[in-house]
Amino acid sequence: MSKFRLGELFCGPGGIAHGAMTAKVTDDYGIVHQWATDYDSDTCATYAYNICRNNPGSVVWGDIRQMDIEKSLGQQGDIDALAFGFPCNDYSVVGEQKGLDGVYGPLYSYGVKALTIFQPRWFLAENVGGLQTANDGKAFARILDDMRAAGYVVTPHLYKFEQYGVPQARHRVIIVGIHKNESAEFHVPSTAPYKGIDNSCRVAIEKPPIAPDAPNNELTKQSANVVRRLECIKPGENAFTANLPEELQIKTATKISQIYKRLDPNKPAYTVTGSGGGGTHIYHWSEPRALTNRERARLQTFPDTYVFNGSKESVRRQIGMAVPCDGARIIFEAILKTFAGVKYEWMEANIND
């Protein structure tokens, strides 16, 4: 079996899937979509349209907590690989880091359940960097132990995607697991081949220019006060580091660095997020405005042909929650090379398993 059939839980709009489908090693080794599921209807529609347009029924909309995984997903066909970017709400350092004690923290267990039921040859799981420290590190240790108990040799690593040429400083824990009965041994792909790449946000957004009729490219209406504030903020500065007049200052005890932060055009963007209110939309370096969703999608390395379904705010959330397509592709290519016996440049994992 050289075409791995991929199943996905918490599939999001398809950043992982697009990376998987575009991963190429040899003509004989690749990854194909088998089924996917997510709780958000817009997200499912986006995934189905872009990843499996000819088989939209293979994307199951529903709450995994109320789903009979074996029946609802198993009937969609056998899988050789599983991917799941389990919800990060309770692991993010921005939140309370409730970890396994939160509402979303235990959802990783459904990925483990799917591993136990389907026993794919390998898997990829993704979450925020804060996963390592939630519950004083006990949550991460428990998750890895449960994955091992399901039958897998795991390789966790904190990937800094800007080091792989992605035009965004996005740091995520990725766990790759190879079934214990496989002879393949996964290694973390090296960042060395990507040194010297110009992955600045200016290049990502402007080269080539976005077509006027590109999908999901609507401008956000900025209030006069926001425009005035942004005009006082230099590239790379935010509302708290800029020299703002009194009437434009943000009065809050929590000074989050991304509030009204303008991009530095000569560096990768800061992390694209899917949540938050005013001041968190990512702001252009020269124009006094928030980025469009299409510009944000470019920072996540989605192609301009990728169409997101739903309202502008729904699309913003989907893009912010996704895994950068190119980052996912690089990891999937390393997995494919592992099974194909193709040598590649690798480095030691930075997280002990």
Which helix H or strand E contains 8, and what residues bound it? strand 3-9
User: What CA–CA distance (Å, rounded) separates 280 from 258?
Assistant: 6
Catalytic site includes residue 44? no
Residue type, 70: E
Q: Which residues pair with 124 in a beta bridge?
A: 83, 176
- Work out whether strand 188-189 and strand 3-9 pair parallel, antiparallel, or are unpaired: unpaired
Q: In degrees rounded to 5, what are phi and psi of residue 258?
A: -90, 0
Give the number of other Cβ atoms within 10 Å of residue 96's Cβ: 12
Give the number of other Cβ atoms within 10 Å of residue 161's Cβ: 28
Which helix H or strand E contains 188, and what residues bound it? strand 188-189
Which helix H or strand E contains 118, and what residues bound it? helix 108-118
Q: Choose, from 11, 52, 88, 325, the residue flagged as catalytic.
A: 88
DSSP 49-87: HHH-TT-GGGEEES-GGGS-HHHHTGGG---SEEEE---
User: What CA–CA distance (Å, rounded) separates 320 from 295?
Assistant: 12
| 105: three-class secondary structure by DSSP | helix
Q: Which residues pair with 173 in a beta bridge?
A: 127, 158
Smallest CA-to-CA distance from 236 within 278, 279, 196, 265 is with 265
Token code pair at residue 341: 């016996």
Residue type, 335: I
Smallest CA-to-CA distance from 156 within 351, 316, 6, 340 is with 351
User: What CA–CA distance (Å, rounded) separates 297 from 215?
Assistant: 11
| 160: three-class secondary structure by DSSP | strand
Task: Write out the catalytic residue numbers.
Answer: 88
